[in-house]
Amino acid sequence: MPELPDIVVYLDALRSHILGQPLQAVRIGSPFVLRSVDPPIAAAAGRRVTGLRRLGKRIVIGLAAFDFPHGTILFTEAGTRRRAALYLVRGDAGLAEQDRGGLDVLEADAAAFRAALRRDNHTLKRALTDPRIVSGIGNAYSDEILHAAKLSPFTLTATASDADLDRLHGATRATLTAWIERLRAEVGKGFPDKVTAFHDAMAVHGRYRKPCPVCGSPVQRVRYAENEMNYCATCQTGGKVFADRSLSRLLKDDWPRSLDEWEERMASPPVPLSARGEGERERG
């Protein structure tokens, strides 16, 4: 799933290719991608593209083809999970119904950021990736942001200090801005041909057991549900290494399978694993 920096770069490319152009036709390659019925998709044909913008981290990557006078834009979904979706809505009111309400951190100041995160008590990881709290950030960039801020992904928003959240706000803006410019430089005047959650230049995300670029310690991970969170124990958690799903056979039903469950566990003091291990337990 593309996140804010990826979407900004896609919008750059789309503006140069289709802004001001009439949409000649929409060809749907899969019945699962179209999630709206009114107005009908045929109503889009012949209308001119008058603007392009971001709504959270939503971008069409479904099995649809958009035909313009000088070419076709193809949107495809890698994988079989069918998360891609295409909506056709009427005006700003219809678009507002798709808005999850998260804060645009590139526009918000530190006070607004603190207020948004403290409306409910979540882990910092969950708060950054919840589109109702912060707009446009997913699993990959949240790992990078928390590493840049030197904060544990398990810290609860209710217990984080103002200084912690201000540092997180600064790291969020700096990380997203830096990646927008990096991706723009990679694409140049071309069109992004792929979206990936893993980049060689990332500090911790997708870099399990590789050295942290700041301290050299091996990057750790925590697996939950279908995702993986990466962090540096030295830089972010005071040396504490938390249990990975590789320990699930030992933890059995006690192993949390979602961030919601992690947050419930975090309401009580977490039980970290020593970086040196605990006898028969495997390290995360």
What average pLDDT does the structure give for the chain? 77
Between 264 and 6, where is the model more confident? Answer: 6
Same domain, 8 and 88: yes
Which of 161, 187, 213 is the C-terminal boundary of a domain?
Answer: 187
77 domain residue, yes or no = yes
- Compute CA distances 73 → 33, 59, 80, whole Å: 16, 13, 21
| 116: nearest Cα among 96, 102, 136, 126 | 102
**Least confident among 64-78, 86-100, 105-119, 269-283:** 269-283
| 179: nearest Cα among 239, 138, 119 | 138
Same domain, 11 and 83: yes
In which domain, by residue range, is 157 found?
Answer: 110-187
Same domain, 132 and 89: no
Return the CATH number at 122: 1.10.8.50
Please, which residues bridge with residue 75 across strands?
64
pLDDT of 57 higher than 70: no
CB of 9 closer than 8 Å to CB of 180: yes
The pTM of this model reads 0.69
Which pLDDT score, from 0 to 100, does residue 55 have?
A: 64
* Separation between Cα atoms, residue 260 and residue 266, nearest integer Å: 10
* Separation between Cα atoms, residue 34 and residue 41, nearest integer Å: 8
Q: Annotate 218-245 with DSSP letters as a single string.
A: BPEEEEETTEEEEE-HHHHSTT-BPPPG
- Section 230-249 average pLDDT: 79
CB of 230 closer than 8 Å to CB of 205: yes
Between 233 and 264, where is the model more confident? Answer: 233
pLDDT digits (tens, 9 = 90+) for 190-218: 777 666 677 889 999 999 989 999 999 99
Please, which residues bridge with residue 229 across strands?
222
List, in order, residues 6 or more apart from 37 with CB less than 8 Å away: none
CB of 240 closer than 8 Å to CB of 247: no
Which of 51, 67, 96 is the C-terminal boundary of a domain?
Answer: 96
Which pLDDT score, from 0 to 100, does residue 15 have?
A: 78
Q: pLDDT band for position 225 (50/70/90)?
A: low
Which of 74, 96, 118 is the C-terminal boundary of a domain?
Answer: 96
Q: pLDDT band for position 283 (50/70/90)?
A: very low
pLDDT of 250 higher than 60: no
119 domain residue, yes or no = yes
- Section 33-58 average pLDDT: 69
Return the CATH number at 49: 3.20.190.10
What is the identity of the amino acid at 103?
L
